[in-house]
Every structure is written in structure tokens, then in C-alpha cells.
Homo-oligomer: A and B are copies of this chain.
Amino acid sequence: MDINLLLFPDFETLDAFGPVEVLGRIPEYALHYCSMDGGPVESRQSGTIITESIENVDKSGILLIPGGQGTRPLVEDELFISRLKRLAEQSSYCLTVCTGSALLAKTTLLDSRKATSNKRAFEWAREVNPNVQWEARARWVSDDKFYTSSGVSAGIDLALGFVADQFGIARAEAIASAVEYIWNSDQHHDPFSNTNQ
């Protein structure tokens, strides 16, 4: 199955490359670095990645959406959001990291679903779409085919959680060990939550 990473200007580096490190270790998955129209895309941390147009890949794969400052203008970009909605609908699974969930929320596909986001941008995500069941205390959340994570490095935990759901926890643990990552495997443990509830 294809992993279609959807990059956009000012995406946050680790939002994208944390999950890439995990999912890139699954031989059954083929990674595609995409953007809406292809070409070079520059991250918030000024790294330039070569992408192919997402129109040219198999859209039935796993759609992976990072967050970052670049999501702020994009939630107001109606063309981007309408294209994203179709991509997310066509995907087998849709994974977001950090404020990537705000983009997905804007499509309305998360309406009445459980989701989470970066805890520093949480109120903003809620404003983007208050019809989502935003979970204020979660490292990551899954609801049907939608997986959403907390901020930046939480994407690594989400990716491992997704691997555990797809292939069993032993495989997720083996990848965590291979990359010497101390996996926060409890999705309800969220030390960065603003709530004590």
C-alpha cells in the first residue's frame, strides 16, 4: 500500500519525518512525497523536499498530513480544502500530525468524530471546526479510518500506534527498538495537555 505524504509550504519538519521514519520501515508500504501540484516544497525549518503531484499517485493509499505554521493560511484556502476533502475521502486511512488535524477538520470529515491536535494550538483547532469531538487529553486518537495526533513528536507515537493496529504491537515495538525510540504507547498519556480532566 502507498503512503502519500502531503506536504505544503511551511510544514513542520518532524511532523512529517517522524512518521516517515516509522512507516518507511514497513516493507509493505511505499512512500510517496507529494504536494497538491508537485515540485519543491520548503518546510518551516527551510528544508526543500522534492514532491510529486498527489494527482499522480494511487489515492486509495494512506494519506499522511503534517501540521505547522503552513496550516494557518490553508484552512482559509477553499480550493486546497476541497481538494483535501476528496483526497481524504478516497484514502484507506488518513493520518494527521499536530495541526494537520485542523486542515482535516475544515473538510468536515471529522464532524462528530473524535480527534486531537497540538495542545498549544488546541483552541484554534476547535475554532476551525467546533463540530469535531476534540479530545483535550490524548497523545493520539483514532476514529474509524482517521488518526489524529497531538503536537510534532506525537506523530511518531501515532505512527507506531497505527502500525500496532495494522500489524500487531510486536511489530510496532520492533520498529521503536530499531530506531531507539522510547515509544509512548499509551495514547491517553498526554503530559502536554492543558487539562487535568
The reply to whether B48 and A21 form a contact with Cβ atoms under 8 Å apart is: no
Of the residues B31, B45, B50, B152, contact of A181 by C-beta under 8 Å:
B152
Task: Please determine whether B24 and A20 come into contact, CB atoms closer than 8 angstroms.
Answer: no
- A153 in the interface (beta carbon within 8 A): yes
**Does A47 contact B45, Cβ atoms closer than 8 Å?**
no
CA distance A46 to B31 in the complex (A): 7
Residue from A40, A45, A49, A120 with most neighbouring chain B CB atoms (10 Å): A45
The yes or no answer to A4 lying at the interface (CB within 8 A) is no
Complex interface: chain B residues within 8 A of A69 (CB): none
Q: Tell which of B14, B181, B191 touches A17, judged by Cβ atoms closer than 8 Å.
A: B14
Cβ-based interface call for A119 (8 A)? yes
**A17 to chain B: closest residue by CB:** B17
Assembly CA distance A20 to B31 (angstroms) = 21
Chain B residue nearest in CB terms to A45: B24
The complex is assembled from copies of this chain, and their number is: 2
Chain A residues bordering chain B, tally (CB within 8 A): 36
Which chain B positions have C-beta within 8 A of A151?
178-180
Enumerate chain B residues within 8 angstroms of A46, measured Cβ to Cβ. 24, 31, 33
Shortest Cβ distance from residue A70 to the other chain B in the assembled complex, whole angstroms: 14
Q: Give A69 Cβ to nearest chain B Cβ, in Å.
A: 12
Q: Is A80 an interface residue (CB 8 A)?
A: no
Do the beta carbons of B20 and A48 come within 8 Å of each other?
A: no
Q: How far is the CA of A179 from the CA of B120 in the complex (A)?
A: 10
**Chain B proximity of A29: nearest CB distance (Å):** 10
Q: List the B residue with the shortest CB-CB distance to A120.
A: B178
- What 0/1 readout, one digit per residue, does chain A (37-55) give for beta carbons within 8 Å of chain B? 0001000111111100000
